[in-house]
Amino acid sequence: MKRAFLLTLILTGVLGAIQTARALDYPLPPQGSRLIGQNQTYTVQEGDRNLQAIARRFDTAAMLILEANHTIAPVPKAGTLITIPTQLLLPDVPREGIVVNLAELRLYYFPPGENKVQVYPIGIGLQGLETPVMETRVGQKIPNPTWTPTVGIRKRSLERGITLPPVVPAGPNNPLGRFALRLAYGHGEYLIHGTNAPDSVGLRVSSGCIRMNAPDIQALFARVKSGTPVKIINEPVKYSTEPNGERYVEVHRPLSQEEEQNVQTMPYVLPAGFTSFREDKAVNNDTVQQALYRRAGYPIKVTSGQTPVAAKTSAVESAQNGSPVNDEASGMTQ
């Protein structure tokens, strides 16, 4: 069986205790700055039955925890000290409405008139049914949605021995959860919605829609108005020159087109302006290369003359009796 599919089965098939998710609220940094938050550490406990349960506790994605810890098992042993990647660079886009970065499995919401951003983990389209990059808006708010499986979804379910009804009524067993935001894109087929399968959030498992934890979509639904702008991007590499002169690079594993692809080594497109950024004398290009190769999913300081460490590592917060805890990149294109 293919490795990516196996990993998805492990993460979704092992049932953990459902933790109450909540948005990660960050104060907005000043204009010219994109660095927010700081990483945490956590010691895996006996009751933590999979990474999804741990991820829900911190309202992050299991895939992001896998990126940050690299060699961790999908079902880590009790006593394992792991990094929770809750420090990040804001995407280099206007700070308004909803912004989704598919490559990092995160949704950002910038509440109007408030000096903060809310960050949520999401599930997105699987290979062959990718969530498209787009600029659109919230076209409709749908409480208690019903679900009408498409012909393609019903066919794929039949191949797995599951016969779906023509319509699934609203309720706790509805795959769309209790709230949905229809995007004004195409024929309205793309939704941001809840799910009755919490372990699917943070993975590539949908038919193109964006899934959220039930408490997260409920909170977002209550705040977002119809007409709110929505921008969906796919940018695995983010970088920033901070007002104090520090330089950071945040690199995520790119989204593969096929399950067989190794996302740790497959090529990706670097953002516009990245070449100029890395050629600046204030940037340590060797450290940049290490960050591009490692793909750790959290900001790495790449300022010249400094050790390649995560930002503010000395100030990492321990969530539970823990303590804080790179070669040439191949195949990058611009």
pLDDT digits (tens, 9 = 90+) for 277-304: 999 999 999 999 999 999 999 999 999 9
pLDDT for residue 310: 54
Options 70, 187, 209, 252, the catalytic residue: 209
pLDDT at 1 over 60: no
pLDDT tens digits, one per residue of 49-92: 889 999 999 999 999 999 999 888 878 899 999 999 999 999 99
Active site annotation includes 193 = yes
Percent of the chain with pLDDT over 70: 84
> What is the model's pTM?
0.83
Residue 100, CA distances (Å) to 132, 232, 312, 320 in order: 11, 5, 26, 30
Q: Which two tokens stand for residue 245?
A: 């002169």
pLDDT given at position 11: 38
Query: Between 10 and 59, whose confidence is greater?
Result: 59
> What is the model's pLDDT at position 12?
37
Amino acid 158: pLDDT: 75
Given a cut of 70, whether residue 5 has pLDDT beyond it is no
- What structural domains does the chain harbor? 93-234 (2.40.440.10), 237-313 (no CATH)
Q: What's the mean pLDDT in 260-267? A: 84
Active site residue 70: no
Q: How far apart are CA 242 and CA 251, in angstroms?
A: 17
Per-residue pLDDT reduced to its tens digit, 111-131: 999 999 999 999 999 888 899
Among residues of the chain, what percentage have pLDDT more than 90?
Answer: 61
